[in-house]
Structure 1
Amino acid sequence: MIHRGACHCGAVRFTVRLTDGIETARRCTCSYCAMRGSVAVSARLDDIAVLQGEETLTRYTFNTGAAQHFFCRICGIYTHHRRRSEPDEYGVNLACLDGHDPFLPVVPVMDGQQHPRDTGVSRIAGHLRFERVEDNA
Structure 2
Amino acid sequence: MSDDAEHAGGCHCGAVRFAVRLTGGLAAARRCDCSYCRMRGAVALTARVGDLEVISGADQLSTYRFNTGAAEHHFCRTCGIYTHHRRRSNGGEFGVNAACLDGISPFDFRVVPVNDGIHHPSDGGGERIAGILRYEPIER
Number of equivalences? 135
| TM-score computed with the length of structure 1 as normaliser | 0.96
Equivalent position amino acid for 1:88 in 2: G
Residue of 34, 55, 63 corresponding to 1:59: 63
Choose the corresponding residue for 1:42, options 28, 46, 53.
46
2:83 matches 1:79: yes
How many angstroms does 1:4 deviate by? 0.2
Q: Give the aligned residue type for 2:131.
A: G
Offset at residue 87 of structure 1 (A): 1.1
CA distance in 2, matches of 1:125, 1:119: 15
In 2, the alpha carbon distance for the partners of 1:120 and 1:60 equals 23
Match of 2:7 among 3, 6, 11: 3
Of 119, 124, 129, the match for 1:119: 124
What CA deviation, in whole Å up to 9, does each residue of 1:41-72 have, x standing for no partner?
00000000000100000000000000000000
Unpaired runs of 5+ in structure 1? Answer: none
Identity fraction in percent? 63
Q: TM-score, normalised on structure 2?
A: 0.94
* Structure 2 gap ranges (5+): none
Paired residue for 1:109?
Answer: 114
More deviation in 119-128 or 54-63?
119-128
Counterpart residue type for residue 9 of structure 1: C
Deviations 1:68-111 (A, max 9, x none): 00000000000000001111100000000012121111000000
Q: CA RMSD in A?
A: 0.8
Higher alpha-carbon deviation: 113-122 or 26-35: 113-122
**3-state DSSP of counterpart to 2:26:** coil
Deviation at 1:120, TM superposition (A): 5.0
CA contact (8 A) 2:119 2:125 kept: no
The runs of 4+ residues in structure 1 deviating greater than 2 Å are none
